[in-house]
Amino acid sequence: MEQQRTRLTHSTQTSNLADILERVLDKGIVIAGDIKVKLVDIELLTIQIRLMIASVDKAKEMGMDWWIRNPDFSSKAMTDQTKEIRELRDRIAQLEHAPTPAASGSAFLAVPVSRRDP
């Protein structure tokens, strides 16, 4: 009887870098670690590191989209922020040029007060 030889294949032979990268981006990978500096049982410093590598679509699917609202990463966020600043400046200008109660001859500003009787 003849013995069959099966050839062992290693993962490096069946996958290239592009395949591995595609799998990582599709599924995502999380690397977590903590660094603690102690001196005589007194904790001086703690650094928590959390790194996630995934595609943009996978990150959005997980609810992570901070780059959309961050002006450092998104021109749309900068446009929204610039628009808000412009609106606030216009509002301040309106308030500065509005007549004051003292200018209109009234010393007090009438504010309606609602009162409930028990």
The residue ranking higher by pLDDT, 14 or 67, is: 67
Check residue 99 and report its DSSP letter: P
pLDDT in tens, 7-56: 655 555 566 888 888 888 888 888 889 999 999 888 899 999 988 888 88
pTM of the model: 0.39
The stretch 54-69 carries a mean pLDDT of: 81
Predicted pLDDT at 90: 92
Predicted pLDDT at 103: 54
With 90 as the cut, is the pLDDT of residue 89 above it?
yes
pLDDT confidence bin for 61, thresholds 50/70/90: confident
Predicted pLDDT at 70: 74
* SS3 of residue 32 by DSSP: strand
Check residue 111 and report its DSSP letter: -
pLDDT confidence bin for 73, thresholds 50/70/90: confident
HSE at residue 23, side-chain half, CA atoms within 13 A, is 5
Query: Cα 117 vs. chain centroid, distance in angstroms?
Result: 49
